[in-house]
Amino acid sequence: MPECRNCSSFVTERYVRVFSPPEVEGVRVCPECEDKVRDGAGVREARSKRV
């Protein structure tokens, strides 16, 4: 079962296929992460809390 490597939340196989390189089983950040966001090909600290 795939999970976010940052917050350990469940993510779907489809989400992993779209937002993760093929050799990685989980994603580095997901929509549930409050402290990090995707920024292009990388990940950065969130500037403000998401609601």
Q: What is the pLDDT of residues 3-50, one digit of tens each?
A: 888 888 898 989 888 888 777 767 888 888 877 777 777 777 877 766
Q: Which domain holds residue 40?
A: 1-51
Count of domains in the chain?
1
Q: Which pLDDT value is given to residue 20?
A: 81
Token pair listed for 23:
């050799």
Q: What's the residue count for the chain?
A: 51
- pLDDT band at 51; cut points 50, 70, 90: low
Q: Which pLDDT value is given to residue 10?
A: 92
Query: Do the Cβ atoms of 16 and 10 come closer than 8 Å?
Result: no
Query: Do the Cβ atoms of 37 and 29 come closer than 8 Å?
Result: yes
DSSP state of 3: B
The number of beta carbons lying within 10 Å of the beta carbon of residue 5 is 17
d(CA 5, CA 17): 15
